[in-house]
Chain A
Amino acid sequence: MNSSPITPVAISATKPETGPETPGTEPDPAAQAAPDALQSSRPVLQVKDVNKIYANGTVALKGADLTVRQGEFVSLLGPSGCGKSTLLRIMAGLGDVTSGTVNWWEHDYNVIGDKGRKLAFVFQNATLMPWARVRKNVRLPLDLEGDASADIEGRIDRALEMVGLTGFNNAFPRELSGGMQMRASIARAMITEPNLLLMDEPFGALDEMTRNKLNDDVLKLWQKNGWTIVFVTHSVYEAVYLSSRVVVMAARPGRIVEDIAIDEPYPRSADFRVSAEFAGYCRQVSQALERASAMGQPAQQEAH
């Protein structure tokens, strides 16, 4: 394995940056307007006509186009195998693309580490080092980056406080509940003060109470810190509750089929969950998801 697997060369442009040329059924994602205020802010992440074909011939992504702007909370929603996790990994610079381009802050991968252009990733599982205590897990990104600034300890304290893990400094991951492990994982993502946070079904394995609580906490942190978040989920409710935009994907081949703006003000609270607007958006998104699921099953194939 190469120590620097992300080569900007691999994702540099091979095609002109025109709109998607993919024919047929897919609506142009650009046609679905994002909220006006966000539309005008600068793009943090631009995925342009990205195709990803694995060595075995599986088309994981076909003609994916997506622009995420500063301050947006975008959810990727879709049936299993629609390539949403693949897309997210590509957005993190973790996977090469077969063709197309990915830009971060209107540059290639090299700017990700720069000041004010930090990206962080939260995995499906907490992905903590089981042999290290919570504090050591949280400070890992700083250790890896060789950050030797004076206030590191204070930053770790604040990150732990924000996720509600003060007092669990010296716990080992196995001593924490699933929700607390996820909190530690989020604290670790926060420690570098990122402004783009990519989350891959982070709360999928948690019970509903914990999930709702963590959803609220993430929303608060998002607003407070001015993050941009891309969030993969397969829960319609979670997507609608959290997002300013829900991007719906279809499988075989994995592609973006709809882009639905959730035009509701923040902060959102429990009241929003029981409002008519919430129900309406959930219906709209569910229908989009059904359409997307139908597209991915040409010959009565069961999605796994």
Chain B
Amino acid sequence: MGTPLIQNENFVKIAAPLAVGILFLLLWEGAVVAMEMPHYILPGPSAIGESLVNDWRPLLAALMITLKVTFMAFAISVVLGVAASLLFVQSKWIELSLFPYAVLMQVTPVVAIAPLIIIWIDDTTWALTVCAVIIAIFPIISNTTLGLRSVDPNLLSMFRMYRSSRWQELIRLRIPGALPYFFGGLRISSGLALIGAVVAEFVAGTGGAKAGLAYMILQSGYNLQIPRMFAALALITLTGIALFALMVWLSDRALRNWHESALKVEH
């Protein structure tokens, strides 16, 4: 029978924001043309698109560098963050002694310590990665720790009544229960890893073969290649959106059978 497209939730979910985006780009283009805005002040979407096509080679190379740093930082944050959380829930003492340092790392602006890290670590990619990890790791630690602690006390009582080992408690109870929190942390952290990678590169100002999108923006700015600057910016934004969407998809896959956040509610 087919419901009208407008009533299809999935269609609307994509079409509505897309329509807003297209409308915005059209207005932008129209305004730029109407006001005869020079390219070096504000290029229209068409000029940016043109730059994306013409400069795809350097843009893609820069994107790859930024992606590499982002993914390395994200992966390291997940591994170290989860390890730290597992350590924290082993004993209140460990958590009390170490958690303040996790907070310390979080509240120190990475821009302020990036120059130091860049001096200490020769390899630029690694230096940028470390900076991005410093930003991205905290949501993983705090969310996962919260999740591992948020166990149904009755379930825990039951486990103990059957004399569960700590290992059984962790594997069968705490870890599955912490997954929704962990995935929440992933969503935040994936975006932060990208931001960290870009911010660190701004500070490092690395050029040459290892230049990422941030350097592309800086350099295009110096050269008044403003359309290319916007093109690089657009790539960063799209990467962020793609990462977020990937995390949402992952969390949906993992939780769809049981967790409220991933359930489709029928009214």
Chain A, 111-144, CB within 8 A of any chain B CB: 113, 119, 121, 123-125, 127, 129-132, 140-141, 143-144
The count of residues in chain A whose C-beta lies closer than 8 Å to any C-beta of chain B is 28
Chain A contact residues, CB within 8 Å of chain B? 3-6, 89, 92-94, 113, 119, 121, 123-125, 127, 129-132, 140-141, 143-145, 172-174, 192
Chain B, 153-177, CB within 8 A of any chain A CB: 154-155, 157-166, 168-169, 172-173, 176-177
The CB with the most chain B CB atoms within 10 A, among A123, A124, A192, is that of A123
Q: Give the nearest-CB partner of A128 in chain B.
A: B155
Within the complex, the shortest CB–CB distance from A209 to chain B, in Å, comes to: 25
Q: Are B155 and A127 in contact, CB atoms less than 8 angstroms apart?
A: yes
Within the complex, the shortest CB–CB distance from A185 to chain B, in Å, comes to: 10
Within the complex, the shortest CB–CB distance from A191 to chain B, in Å, comes to: 10
Chain B, 128-164, CB within 8 A of any chain A CB: 152, 154-155, 157-164
Q: Are B158 and A173 in contact, CB atoms less than 8 angstroms apart?
A: no
Residues of chain A contacted by B154 (CB below 8 angstroms): 123-125, 127
Residues of chain B contacted by A113 (CB below 8 angstroms): 163
Residues of chain A contacted by B152 (CB below 8 angstroms): 127
> In the assembly, what is the distance between CA of A129 and CA of B178, in Å?
12
Q: Are B161 and A92 in contact, CB atoms less than 8 angstroms apart?
A: yes
Q: Are B160 and A172 in contact, CB atoms less than 8 angstroms apart?
A: no
Residues of chain A contacted by B263 (CB below 8 angstroms): 174
Q: Give the nearest-CB partner of A89 in chain B.
A: B157
CB of B101 closer than 8 Å to a CB of A: no
Q: Are A119 and B172 in contact, CB atoms less than 8 angstroms apart?
A: no
Given contacts A113-B163, A140-B158, 19 further A-B contacts (CB under 8 A): A3-B165, A4-B160, A89-B157, A92-B157, A92-B161, A93-B161, A119-B161, A123-B154, A123-B157, A127-B152, A130-B258, A131-B176, A131-B257, A131-B258, A132-B176, A143-B168, A144-B164, A144-B172, A145-B162
> In the assembly, what is the distance between CA of A256 and CA of B176, in Å?
41
Residues of chain B contacted by A132 (CB below 8 angstroms): 176
Residues of chain B contacted by A144 (CB below 8 angstroms): 159, 162-164, 168, 172
Residues of chain B contacted by A192 (CB below 8 angstroms): 162
> In the assembly, what is the distance between CA of A253 and CA of B158, in Å?
27
Q: Are B259 and A5 in contact, CB atoms less than 8 angstroms apart?
A: no
Q: Which listed residue (B169, B172, B179, B258) contacts A143, Cβ 8 A?
A: B172
Q: Are B161 and A131 in contact, CB atoms less than 8 angstroms apart?
A: no
> In the assembly, what is the distance between CA of A124 and CA of B172, in Å?
22
> In the assembly, what is the distance between CA of A140 and CA of B157, in Å?
13
Residues of chain A contacted by B168 (CB below 8 angstroms): 143-144
Q: Are B173 and A129 in contact, CB atoms less than 8 angstroms apart?
A: yes
Q: A3-B169, A173-B258 are in contact. Are A94 and B157 (CB under 8 A)?
A: yes
Within the complex, the shortest CB–CB distance from A133 to chain B, in Å, comes to: 9
Residues of chain B contacted by A140 (CB below 8 angstroms): 158, 162, 172
Q: Identify 16 residue pairs between A and B in the complex whose beta-carbon atoms are under 8 Å apart, listed by A's number.
A: A3-B166, A5-B160, A92-B161, A121-B161, A123-B154, A127-B152, A129-B155, A130-B258, A130-B259, A131-B257, A140-B162, A144-B159, A144-B168, A144-B172, A145-B163, A192-B162
Residues of chain A contacted by B155 (CB below 8 angstroms): 127, 129
> In the assembly, what is the distance between CA of A3 and CA of B161, in Å?
11
Residues of chain A contacted by B163 (CB below 8 angstroms): 4, 113, 144-145
Residues of chain A contacted by B157 (CB below 8 angstroms): 89, 92, 94, 121, 123
Within the complex, the shortest CB–CB distance from A115 to chain B, in Å, comes to: 15
Residues of chain B contacted by A94 (CB below 8 angstroms): 157, 160-161
Within the complex, the shortest CB–CB distance from B176 to chain A, in Å, comes to: 5
Residues of chain B contacted by A143 (CB below 8 angstroms): 168, 172
Chain B, 9-47, CB within 8 A of any chain A CB: none
Within the complex, the shortest CB–CB distance from A4 to chain B, in Å, comes to: 7
Q: Are B161 and A172 in contact, CB atoms less than 8 angstroms apart?
A: no
> In the assembly, what is the distance between CA of A145 and CA of B158, in Å?
12
Residues of chain B contacted by A124 (CB below 8 angstroms): 154
Within the complex, the shortest CB–CB distance from A242 to chain B, in Å, comes to: 22
Within the complex, the shortest CB–CB distance from B89 to chain A, in Å, comes to: 10
> In the assembly, what is the distance between CA of A17 and CA of B162, in Å?
29
